[in-house]
Amino acid sequence: MNMEQNVIQKNMWNTAGKAGLVLGLVPAVYLFISQFLGQVGMPAFISSILSFVLWTAKFVGCIWIMKFFMKKFVAENNGVTNANTFRLGNIMALLSALVYSAVAFANVAFISPELFETQMNAVMQQMAPMMDSNTQGMMEAYLENLPQITFISNLIYCFLYGMVLSFILSRNIPSKDPFADYKPDEQ
């Protein structure tokens, strides 16, 4: 590995660390805002519209943030290839997935466990006539493991989403010069 690649590798982790933190905090903020809006008690129509607008802002914002950090990385480092930006995106996806999953775990386990327990109890009461004792036991075990299930499922989902997004964005970052191999005939 040459010196330029070593510098790119080091800068990649620095950029990915900052980007991963930002990318992880955006959905975490959305999580708490949407959770708050669910408890405010506003009319369902307004709540639905507001939730959709916030979700769209989160979705588009995460795409924009990843693209921003990829372009910034390319601008600050010479010799960056599309493979480098794809790798950067994967590292950002992993780190942001860890940040968001940790926040979601803390929310379920420590910050708002009563909210999730109340929701599960409401579901259990509605479904009780249709469940046998084994199913009820499984649902109770699920509730006991909800923080861990939340962490693992969010980690997997967010990382896979980030990988796909990284693949799509890295195809054109850095942009390819279609005439790079063109050599005019010398006459």
Q: Which pLDDT belongs to residue 91?
A: 97
Query: CB within 8 A of 57, min separation 6: which ones?
Result: 30
pLDDT tens digits for range 133-186: 898 888 888 888 999 999 999 999 999 999 999 999 999 999 877 676 677 765
Q: Supply the Cα-derived Rg of the chain in whole angstroms.
A: 22
Distances (CA, A) of 66 to 14, 73, 99, 136, 172: 14, 11, 15, 42, 13
Cβ atoms 12, 87 nearer than 8 A = yes
